[in-house]
Each structure stands twice: as C-alpha cells, then as structure tokens.
Amino acid sequence: MEKEELYQLSFQLILYSGNARSFAMEAMQEAKKRNFESARSKIAESESELLQAHKYQTQLIHAEAGGDHFELPILLVHAQDHLMTAMTLKDLAIEMIDIREEFIHAAAMKEGTAE
C-alpha cells in the first residue's frame, strides 16, 4: 500500500471518528436536557459513523493480512487514537444516558409521579 493511500485512509478514519465523537457528545447534552429520544438518535448516528470508520480500518487490516507491508505513518497512529477515543466516548455516553434516565425515573417514583 502506497503512502498516499495510507494518508487517505487515515483522513477517512479521522473524519468518521470525529463525527462519531461529536454525535456522542451531542447525545450526552440531549440527555442532560432530558431529551432521551434525541439522545438515543444521536447515539445511533455515532454508531453509524463508527461503522464507516471501521470499514476503512478493515481495509488496512485486510491489506496487511494479505501480505502488504507498509511503513506506519504517525498520521495513521493519530487516526487510530481518534477511533478508539470515539468508541470509548460512545460507550460512555450510552451509560450516562442510561444513568440519567434511571435517576429521573427513581426520583419520579419517590415523588409518586412515575407512570
């Protein structure tokens, strides 16, 4: 695999990972405002972006497994960092949304206003 192709794959990883991270952050903000449906929608968008990022990552893995040898540019390392951060943040966002929903439900139960 040529260096230029590695750079292009790296940029795609950064793009989709950054989008995924942004959607995860937006999901947490929506949950903070008690807009849980919107928060879940943002998580779905984050997951969609991560799926796109994984497609590019899979290209790299398949190329290497197929015998391609290439020098590892720091940009690719940076892109992988973005991907892993976005994945972790998305998982954390899901947990935080769940906790907020549980907290609100528990408070409503305590006040006797739960459905």
| Whether 78 is catalytic | yes
Which residue type, as a one-letter code, is found at position 27? A
User: How many angstroms separate the CA atoms of 89 and 44, rounded?
Assistant: 13
Is 81 assigned a ligand-binding role in the annotation?
A: yes
Which residue type, as a one-letter code, is found at position 41? S
End-to-end CA separation in angstroms for the chain: 58
User: How many angstroms separate the CA atoms of 109 and 23, rounded?
Assistant: 31
Phi, psi of 73 (to 5 degrees): -75, 150
Active-site residue identified among 69, 78, 82, 105 = 78
User: How many angstroms separate the CA atoms of 62 and 54, rounded?
Assistant: 12
Active-site positions?
78
Instruction: Name the binding residues for Mg(2+).
Output: 81
Q: Which residues are annotated as a binding site?
A: 81
